[in-house]
Amino acid sequence: MRQKAEERFRTLMREIDYLNNISQTLSWDMRVMMPKDVAQYRGEEMGFLAGQIHALETSSEMASLLQQLEEPPSDDAVLRAMVQKARRNYDKLTQIPEDLFSAYAAHNLKTEHIWAEARAKNDFSMVLPFLKQEFAYKKELISCAGFPDDPVTGLMDEWETGTTRQQIDRLFETLRNFLVPFVQRLRSEPQPDPAPLRGFFPREKQMAFCREVLQAVGYNFDRGRVDESAHPYTTFNYRKDIRFTCRYFEDDFTRATLSCLHEGGHAIHWQNMGQELDGTTLAVSTSLPIDESQARFQENILGRSLAFWEHFLPLAKKYFPELKSVSPERFYHALNALHISPLRLTSDELTYNLHIILRYELEKALLDGTLPFEELPAAWREKSQEYLGVCPENDADGVLQDMHWFSGYICYYQSYVLGNCYDGHFLHAMKRDIPDMVDQIRQGDFSHILNWNISHIHRFASTKSPHQVLWDATGEELSAKWYLQYLTDKYTEIYHL
């Protein structure tokens, strides 16, 4: 009896896995290849697939199989994790009334559309009632899912189970108290010369350069591909098919290089998830912050380091001869110069964190009801001035700059900074385990770094909690300590403090 239930459950989970992957491939096609006129029909196809997945996850058969397999729990750790995950999904999805869910989905689409128009017209009032309603829906949905008292923790739980508002508050306070005066101090110092980054870098040459860099750091081109799209992103598919996209700017080749390293970091993480997890639905990142940590490790810790460019600048010079007189040090300093901007996406590695902290504090105040939505643009400007020392000239470059809140990603931003903090720990532990790590990077040998990431993080996918991953890899609980140490060391050297 139990044997039969187990077999049937595994079959259902494999079917859900197939459908999820098919939907990822279709969505890649939609963003990269699809002819324009098929958009509406493709939307229907994707909606149909989502409905099929939902039906499998919430079926009465699923409920009965879960009951049979929960008591007693299986000795097989993978099966146990599959049952726990399916239970969480089942409870969450069946607790939300279907009409609430479809009303929200329709509202969400509309808000996203109106946000784009409001941004183009620089008119926050256009999207204001929709944003209010978006937050109201999110609060209602999260209260159905079992977080009636604290929507902030509830919403963050979607991206990293177990992380609470109190933890993020403490972590962000530590970061803010350090970063705000540190950035002010750096501002008053002489700035690195940006000239080494300037020039004309043909698109085709950038593509070839990025390909060599990606191969060196461990992206497997037999299990993925890189294409172009307006907004770079990675498909989260079966581990043998992890594709991503990039965008190239001919006046600065480092933008595409760092963006490829970021998306490539996500992709390397997913390409190396354990084979035993195929078809179980567990071959996904254990949390968004851990996934981001893997992307940011490639982009920032490696891609913005001196050793990395000591190795790759000579290769870059073969593609872009105008770099011929640039030294790795000058290049590295230019790449890491402070770039204080009201825009999150063009900011430097350091002030990026302040952009996130600003958003987190504002969304929390909106959810708590302590900040009226009407006052959001002014509050945004005030905080921007206070934390970054710059004020956006208009709302398009202020509160309207990012799509997140207008497409339902509320209490999502903190994942980026959590990823940075995880990286601080991972870097510290990696240097302990690979003492000549920097020399290896300088020589273009990334194999030990890749293997460290695979054996401590990637292969477990979602079978370990993020906190367990961190604990097992480093013996520590999450804090900002090592990340701040990394930033201090780096910028003290660059700015000759």
Q: How far is the CB of 230 from Zn ion (least distance, A)?
A: 16
CB atoms within 10 A of CB 99: 8
- Length of the chain counted residue by residue: 497
Q: How far is the CB of 344 from Zn ion (least distance, A)?
A: 13
Closest to Zn ion by CB, 265 vs 328, is 265
CB neighbour list of residue 76: distance below 8 Å, 6 or more residues apart: none
d(CA 117, CA 288): 29
Q: How far is CA 131 from CA 114, 124, 374, in A?
A: 10, 10, 10
Dihedral (Cα; 462, 468, 471, 476), 10-degree rounding: 110
Q: Is 417 in the site for Zn ion (CB under 5 A)?
A: no
Which of 263, 299, 349, 363 is labelled catalytic? Answer: 263
Start-end of H helices in 372-413: 376-388
Asked, as a colleague might, if the bond just before 72 is cis with ω within 30 of 0, I would say: yes
Closest to Zn ion by CB, 295 vs 313, is 295
Q: How far is the CB of 232 from Zn ion (least distance, A)?
A: 9
Q: Is 295 in the site for Zn ion (CB under 5 A)?
A: yes
Closest to Zn ion by CB, 244 vs 380, is 244
How big is the CA angle at 95 (ends 94 and 97), to the nearest 5 degrees? Answer: 85
d(CA 365, CA 422): 26
Q: Is 268 in the site for Zn ion (CB under 5 A)?
A: no
Closest to Zn ion by CB, 320 vs 483, is 483
Q: How far is the CB of 287 from Zn ion (least distance, A)?
A: 13
HSE (side-chain half, CA atoms, 13 Å) at 85: 23
Q: Is 260 in the site for Zn ion (CB under 5 A)?
A: no
Asked if 7 is an active-site residue, the reply is no
Q: How far is the CB of 264 from Zn ion (least distance, A)?
A: 11
Q: Which residue is nearest to Zn ion (CB)?
A: 295
CB atoms within 10 A of CB 374: 11
Closest to Zn ion by CB, 24 vs 280, is 24
The residues in 134-173 that bind Zn ion, with binding defined as CB under 5 A, are none
Q: Which stretch binds Zn ion (CB under 5 A): 144-152, 291-299, 333-341, 431-439?
A: 291-299
Q: Which stretch binds Zn ion (CB under 5 A): 70-78, 168-176, 294-302, 330-338?
A: 294-302
> Annotated active-site positions, please?
263
Q: Which residues of this protein are in contact with Zn ion, per CB under 5 A?
A: 295
